[in-house]
Structures are given as C-alpha cells and as structure tokens.
A and B are shown apart, each in its own frame.
Chain A
Amino acid sequence: MVKVTIDGVEIEVEEGTTILNAARQAGGDIVPPAMCYYTGLEGSGGKCRSCLVEVAAGSERDPRPMPKLMASCRTEVQHGMVVKNKTSERVIDAREGVTEFLLINHPLDCPICDQAGECDLQDLSFKHGVEWSRFEEEKRTFAPRDIGDKIKLHMNRCIMCYRCVFVAQQLTNKRVHGVLNRGDRSEISTYIEQALDSDFIGNVIDVCPVGALTDKTFRFKSRVWFLKPMNAHRDCPTCQGIATVWMFGNEIYRVTGRKDKYSEIERHNGKTAWICDTCRFETKDVAKWVIEGPRIINRYSVISTNHYTNENPLDAKKDPKKLQ
C-alpha cells in the first residue's frame, strides 16, 4: 500500500493505482473530472486532458514537484506523493481551458440532444466552464450518420475520447469503425457505409460521454428526466443481463448498462457488466425483465441536481438567438 495526499486528504491505496482512481476511492469533490478515461477499457485515458492535476511532490524518495500538470488518469501514485487538484490555480485554469477547447466546436444543440441531462460535457461546463465563449469562428460540422439501424452518430458532438474505438477493439471480434483523418478534422467513422453490428457494439452508446453515439431504438423522443430508471435483470445467455431499464408508465423505452456516479458501467461478479445488444435493443418487453426497483442516479449531473434549463451554458445564456 502507498500513501498519497490529494488536496490535503490522505489516503492509502494499492500500488499501481492511478491518481484518478485514488481520488475516486477517497470520493468527494477532490475527484478530477474524466472525459476520456474509462476503467473497463484498457489503454483509455490521457487524451482529453480534463483530469490534469498538479503533482506538488513526486514521492517520499524524490519529493520534487513535477514541472508539468499530469493526466491523473494515467499517472500512477507513488508513496508520499502530494497532489493538488481543486486547490491548484494552475489546474483550475488548465481545466477551464480544456473545457473551452472541448466546447468551441461543439454544437449548441443541447435542447435537441438525446444525451442532454446525462452528458459529461454538460456537467463539465457547469462546473469548470466560463459563462461566455470567445470563439467567433465558424464551427466545424459533420453530417449526422446512421451507422447501422440501431446506432446514430452525431460527429459534431464528439470529443474524440476514443472510448468507442476501444469498445469495438476489446468487446467485439471485428472492428469496423475507427478514427479517420487527423487534427481538428479527425472523425469517428466507418469510412465506407457500414453498419456496426456485433454482439456488444451497443456499448459504444454507454461509453460515449456526450451525445455523439445514441440509441436509435430509443422510441420516444423524450428527455431522460421524464423516464424512470429502474434496476432490472434477466437471464441472458450472452451477457450478465444486469441493466437499467428506463420506463414511462409501464413501458420500457430504453435499456442501458448500470452506470455508477462516474458514468462508468458497474462491475458485477468481478467483471464490468457490459450488456449485449439483444438486451439493449431487442428486449423492451417488461415481462422479459425482473424489475428490482428504482435506480438512484447519484452521479453529479444535471438530472440529479435539476439544473437543466434547456439552454447551453455558454453562448445560449448570453444570446438565445445563437441556438441553432
């Protein structure tokens, strides 16, 4: 076990734990936001830079500070390390910067976005954004695409976390989508018209931190907060069958994995409880599920805090005409 101090909170964690996970073990508001890291996906993280922290002392043996801010999701703790997250001005400034960068080309379409209410970017901008945008250029846009009959891709909203690529690589046996082009022209795509179709590919929807990949079988164009999330399970030959079903009255409108407060699929029986596509897309009959009871959404989110105002936190607030 190694000892690490994050924003003055001292914790002991196992060797090899990342700063982010150490902070999550301690809990509370010392946890850095993570837009690209995903525990269940090997190799993820390091890209969005929203989790940057200041390492004020590297370790007990070598207490020198690290000159650059470090990605907490990819930096392992050392014994005696001292980390500053919310107590570091550099971190707060950098995070505000990252938030701004992620938003400059992001559309202002929260009011019509399926993810609104459970969007990590929306949460990030509430917590770490500024109220106005300095970006006066034309936004980068892509045409929305169907990738198969079950999944819709709104590339405009994508933040390039690469999580969906890892899902295809690690949970399915054939990857047909990936990252094309480079720089700010990068996009998630299949290149040629192709359907994403594989037993577990639906998980790209669950891992997407924004509304770039959404469920086309979500029948009712409803806002998620009109739906009641219920814990449910079923006997499934393909996956663990542990899911959240989103209901309106007595009907199931959509099925997702069970996400914890960091928007990650929970672990059950020692494994990440990814659900299969049959459970997600084709099992909307209540009779096929054992409903356990209401699910408490305890992640910090606009759903749980009732913050959502039908507006984008940035320009829209300043100038509602800008809503496209």
Chain B
Amino acid sequence: MRVERKIVHKERPVLSEEAKVEIQKVIQNYPEGKKKSAILRTLFIVQREAGGWLSPDTMDMVAEILEIEPIEVYEVATFYTMFNLDPVGQYVLEFCHTGPCMLVGSDQIIKYTEEKLGIKMGETTPDGMFTLKEAECLGACGYGPMLQCGKYYHEHLTPEKVDELIEACRRGEVKTN
C-alpha cells in the first residue's frame, strides 16, 4: 500500500463579504484568544467559497485569518474527512458504506451509481458535475441506503431515486446549502 498525495495547487479564493462576516461571527463563538477553535467551521466556509476543496494557498489564508501557523491548518484539514484536498465536482455524492447500510443494500446502490455515471468511488465525472465518495456511518442507519449531497441527506435509496437525484442535480434543482 503506497501512501501518496499529489498536491494540487490553486490560488486562494476571494472571499465574499458574506463569508467574511460569517467567519467573524464564528470566531465570536469562542472566548478571547481562542480563535483557533474556529478552525473547522472556518474551513467549511472557505471550502464552500473555494469551489468545494482546499488548496494549500486556501489553507494558508485560513492560517492568516486565525493567526496560526499553516502547518496547524494542514494537520487539521488532513485529519477530518469532510475536507477535500483535491478538486471535486459540483455535486459530491457521499455514500454511506458502513455495516448497517450494507445490510440493506448500500453495496448495490454504490455499484449502480458507479455504473450509471461511469466512474468509481473517489472519481469525478469528466464534465465536472459529480464526484463520488464513500463515507462512514452518517447517522441514518435506519433509513439506508443513504447518501449525503452537500448539507442534506437522501435516504431509502433505490436505483430509481438515484436516477431522479442525478437528473435533478443536472437541472440544478438540488439544494446543497
């Protein structure tokens, strides 16, 4: 097993005014001098602004905002699975593949979706529309198989429901935020 990460570079995004306000509000959630505590939520906001993933430059920006060393941001961003360190598609479909979901057919749904989109887990469609990811138990075990797209859950999946969701994404009708 070779552990490797190719680092993809991209310039930091220009934050919207809204995002800047949001970050300042998040920092207020913690006492004076505890800015570092805001890191996870700040990374979420910045990731959203940066097209769904974090480049080293983008993380350096977070380090500046929170007045910490860049390595502290890299350490955190690589620990938590919800941060993407490589470019992703417009819609990231994260399929739960843990035990309880597997018992009710997540393997089959994953295979179906892979075949339908012609890509494997971890890959992005050539049109940049979809990225498929595997996730560990998302706390919806009684309603599986399920996936998360952006902020929201899609439960009791069947091939038909996957078809519908993919079509709705293509039409731009799926809420992710």
A174-B75 contact given A140-B3, A191-B56, A192-B56, CB 8 Å threshold: no
Q: Is B4 on the interface with A (CB-CB < 8 A)?
A: yes
Task: Say what secondary structure dominates the interface of chain A.
Answer: loop
B9: nearest chain-A partner, CB-CB: A192
A190, B69: Cα distance in complex, Å: 12
B71 and A177 contacting across the interface, CB-CB below 8 Å: yes
The residue that B1 contacts in the complex, of A139, A176, A187, with Cβ under 8 A, is A139
B80: nearest chain-A partner, CB-CB: A182
> B residues within 8 A CB of A141?
1-3
A185, B79: Cα distance in complex, Å: 10
Smallest Cβ distance from A141 to chain B, in angstroms? 5
Task: Provide the A177-207 mask, 1 if CB < 8 A to any CB of B, else 0.
Answer: 1111110010100111000000000000000
Q: Is A142 on the interface with B (CB-CB < 8 A)?
A: yes
Q: List 8 A-B contacts (CB under 8 A).
A: A138-B1, A140-B2, A178-B74, A180-B78, A181-B3, A182-B79, A191-B70, A191-B71
A100, B57: Cα distance in complex, Å: 40
Q: Is A143 on the interface with B (CB-CB < 8 A)?
A: yes
CB within 8 Å: A-B pair count: 48
> A residues within 8 A CB of B3?
140-142, 155, 181, 185, 187
> B residues within 8 A CB of A142?
2-4
A178 and B72 contacting across the interface, CB-CB below 8 Å: yes
B interface residues, Cβ below 8 angstroms from A:
1-5, 7, 56, 69-72, 74-75, 78-79
A191 and B1 contacting across the interface, CB-CB below 8 Å: no
Q: Is A150 on the interface with B (CB-CB < 8 A)?
A: no
B75 and A180 contacting across the interface, CB-CB below 8 Å: yes
Instruction: A139-B1, A176-B70, A191-B71 are known; give 7 further A-B pairs, CB within 8 A.
Output: A142-B4, A175-B71, A176-B69, A181-B3, A181-B79, A182-B79, A185-B3
A185, B7: Cα distance in complex, Å: 16
> A residues within 8 A CB of B7?
191-192
A190 and B1 contacting across the interface, CB-CB below 8 Å: no
A191, B1: Cα distance in complex, Å: 19
A155: nearest chain-B partner, CB-CB: B3
> B residues within 8 A CB of A140?
1-3
> B residues within 8 A CB of A143?
4
Name, among A155, A185, A191, the residue most crowded by chain B CB atoms within 10 Å (CB to CB): A191
A174 and B1 contacting across the interface, CB-CB below 8 Å: no
B85: nearest chain-A partner, CB-CB: A191
Smallest Cβ distance from A322 to chain B, in angstroms? 17
Smallest Cβ distance from A118 to chain B, in angstroms? 27
A181, B72: Cα distance in complex, Å: 12
Smallest Cβ distance from A121 to chain B, in angstroms? 19
A47, B79: Cα distance in complex, Å: 18
Smallest Cβ distance from B136 to chain A, in angstroms? 12
B71: nearest chain-A partner, CB-CB: A178
Smallest Cβ distance from A33 to chain B, in angstroms? 27
A31, B7: Cα distance in complex, Å: 44
A140, B3: Cα distance in complex, Å: 7
A179: nearest chain-B partner, CB-CB: B75
A140: nearest chain-B partner, CB-CB: B1
B71 and A190 contacting across the interface, CB-CB below 8 Å: yes
A181: nearest chain-B partner, CB-CB: B78
B74 and A180 contacting across the interface, CB-CB below 8 Å: yes
Smallest Cβ distance from A312 to chain B, in angstroms? 20
A190, B56: Cα distance in complex, Å: 11
A176-B78 contact given A140-B3, A141-B1, A191-B56, CB 8 Å threshold: no
Name, among B5, B7, B56, B75, the residue most crowded by chain A CB atoms within 10 Å (CB to CB): B75
Smallest Cβ distance from A264 to chain B, in angstroms? 26
> B residues within 8 A CB of A155?
3
A139, B1: Cα distance in complex, Å: 6
A143: nearest chain-B partner, CB-CB: B4
A192, B85: Cα distance in complex, Å: 12
Task: Provide the A207-233 mask, 1 if CB < 8 A to any CB of B, else 0.
Answer: 000000000000000000000000000
B1: nearest chain-A partner, CB-CB: A140
B74: nearest chain-A partner, CB-CB: A191
B73: nearest chain-A partner, CB-CB: A191
B78 and A174 contacting across the interface, CB-CB below 8 Å: no
Task: Provide the A126-168 mask, 1 if CB < 8 A to any CB of B, else 0.
Answer: 0000000000001111110000000000010000000000000
A135, B72: Cα distance in complex, Å: 34
